[in-house]
Structure 1
């Protein structure tokens, strides 16, 4: 295998002339469209060695951010694509003598119907991500257990004070958990009224004092982004301690799989 006998694949998309002009990816590498004749499809790629990119956490985060910028730039130009996760490589096949570009083209031809179907389904759509949490102290008012003095000069032993603090924490967790369950059902139902799909995700930011309500990726038509914001604003109104993170719009990373596949967590 030579130094550039593989292709690093960023996305699959309609073959649009000029869509990748001036765009750079990992480590500033220029990306290009590798068109597949007769299909109307192309892959957004750069030439690479047939080995995954490996490095420390900071370096990987930088690469992921660079990949995201490249994909987002091209997505905004063409209106729809299927983004790949980090470190998707197609290598040449020395046994058959096929180059990496030929191997990639053969696979795209085989999957043509599935790829075009997903592109049509995602055209004009974007991904939003929502994380909603409850601050437990705010939900319960931060009140101590009834009859428990707040200072240390109450004549109670340290062990008793620890026990009462533990009881207060358990009460806060229980109260916040019940409210979170009710809010999850209500907010998810309202989001599904304005989003085409909602997929649960792991929380990326949650403190030890917060109870999770909902963490999800939403597939939304561009014209419905503001409607999602309105649902979240309504949910927050009058609810102390409800925290909402609303991110996007992004290319539909969480929805690029085919309908028949299991829904894998995006990188």
Structure 2
């Protein structure tokens, strides 16, 4: 098992004597050498396990010259650095999730040393263990819904019925434009209603569900607006039924085009998360 993401630009092993912290990727029940072998961490080196309270935290070496509080704050404003860091972090979490349940941490959760990570495990052991129990033999699947071809076609042809009657060409243009906007609104309304119905059906089948805010078209890259951005926690044994339900709903609701994605680490359902990095470096420095 290996992660293929490249480390963020500038990531490299710390110079001898340099301070090195711990970038925390996630918490698992166990992580032996066979699980961790070949997984690349934030600095381009291997990840390692930090055990505590019957759990294991998986961390990367994080040279504080790059990942300390001030340099990290600057780097997080660099979109290219942030994209590469997020990809590397996700690849580690995804590799761990293929071996079993994992509670993924938020991006850029950095501790000063392994002792700080071990304290986290001791402080949050009960909640983290309960979350791991809840996620075991389950995976997260995403269903995105976009305004469908039928609705989009209605929007595009909405003004075709206009004529050049009373008022001349200017008035006819305004009528066509009004009809286009009305058709587009009606198409999006129909797609939104279908998306709500789809989400309700999928949520009823899944163990748990979240409906996230739709992505902007500049992020989704889709030609039509997103009306559903759902996440569903599904029992592994029930996956075939879930995918069949998605296909059936797509056939019943042509107003919305459905896209199934996954499996994903259970980012949307790991409510018991380690805290934000605000407590990490400051706490360990005391």
- Could you say which TM-score interval applies, normalised by the shorter chain? 0.7 to 0.9
Indicate whether 1:85 and 2:99 are aligned: no
- How far, CA to CA, are the matches of 1:170 and 1:237 in structure 2? 27
Indicate whether 1:120 and 2:133 are aligned: yes
Contact 1:33-1:43 at 8 Å conserved across structures: yes
Per-residue CA deviation, residues 55-83 of structure 1 (Å, 9 max, x unaligned), is 63233212211211111112212x10101
Using the TM superposition, give the Cα deviation of residue 257 of structure 1 relative to its aligned residue in structure 2, in angstroms: 1.3
Contact 2:158-2:183 at 8 Å conserved across structures: no
Per-residue CA deviation, residues 8-54 of structure 1 (Å, 9 max, x unaligned), is 00001113322212210225231111112xx2211110121133271
* 1:62 match: 84
- How far, CA to CA, are the matches of 1:184 and 1:241 in structure 2? 9
Using the TM superposition, give the Cα deviation of residue 123 of structure 1 relative to its aligned residue in structure 2, in angstroms: 0.8
Per-residue CA deviation, residues 135-163 of structure 1 (Å, 9 max, x unaligned), is 433256824364x13xx8998334x2442
* 2:195 match: 184
Indicate whether 1:156 and 2:172 are aligned: no
Distance 1:30 1:165, change over 3 A: farther
Structure 1: stretches of 5+ with no match in the other structure: 92-99, 262-267
Structure with the bigger percentage of helix = 2
Distance 1:116 1:208, change over 3 A: closer
Contact 1:9-1:43 at 8 Å conserved across structures: yes
Pairs aligned (count): 244
* 1:13 match: 28
Indicate whether 1:144 and 2:155 are aligned: no
Distance 1:64 1:24, change over 3 A: same
Supply the RMSD in Å over aligned alpha carbons: 2.9
Using the TM superposition, give the Cα deviation of residue 211 of structure 1 relative to its aligned residue in structure 2, in angstroms: 4.5
Out of 216, 241, 261, the position equivalent to 1:247 is 261
- How far, CA to CA, are the matches of 2:177 and 2:193 in structure 1? 25
1:26-45 to 2 correspondences below 5 Å? 26-36=42-52, 39-45=53-59
Structure 2: stretches of 5+ with no match in the other structure: 1-16, 276-286
Out of 23, 36, 51, the position equivalent to 2:39 is 23
Q: Structure 2 length as normaliser, TM-score?
A: 0.75
Using the TM superposition, give the Cα deviation of residue 238 of structure 1 relative to its aligned residue in structure 2, in angstroms: 5.8
1:199-210 to 2 correspondences below 5 Å? 199-204=210-215, 206=217, 210=224
* 2:240 match: 226
Q: Structure 1 length as normaliser, TM-score?
A: 0.80
Distance 1:126 1:4, change over 3 A: farther
